[in-house]
């Protein structure tokens, strides 16, 4: 993970925490347990970082839903 993708992951953790009314630490634990950071956000950084925050949050929700987590 490079500096840009790291900053993006941190931003998305906080954006999701705000949208889902959760603490960033809770969102981080969810992301880690479902591989969202290593299997979704970082590998797709080039495409995702060009999208709007709301769109990315929806993509993350879908990613998690498919893996059995509803936020």
State pLDDT tens for residues 6-51.
999 999 999 999 999 999 999 999 999 999 999 999 999 999 999 9
Q: Which two tokens stand for residue 24?
A: 């960033």
Q: Which two tokens stand for residue 62?
A: 């879908």
Mean pLDDT of 61-70: 96
Helix (H) or strand (E) holding 49: none
Residue ranges of domains in the chain: 3-66
Q: Place 62 in a pLDDT band, splitting at 50, 70 and 90.
A: very high
Q: What is the pTM assigned to this prediction?
A: 0.95
| Model pLDDT, residue 67 | 96
Q: Place 52 in a pLDDT band, splitting at 50, 70 and 90.
A: very high
């Amino acid at each position: 993970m490079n500096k840009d993708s790291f900053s993006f992951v941190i931003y998305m953790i906080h954006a999701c925490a705000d949208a889902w009314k959760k603490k960033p630490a809770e969102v981080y634990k969810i992301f880690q347990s479902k591989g969202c950071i290593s299997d979704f956000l970082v590998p797709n950084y080039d495409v995702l970082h060009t999208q709007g925050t709301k769109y990315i949050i929806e993509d993350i929700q879908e990613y998690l839903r498919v893996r059995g987590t509803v936020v």
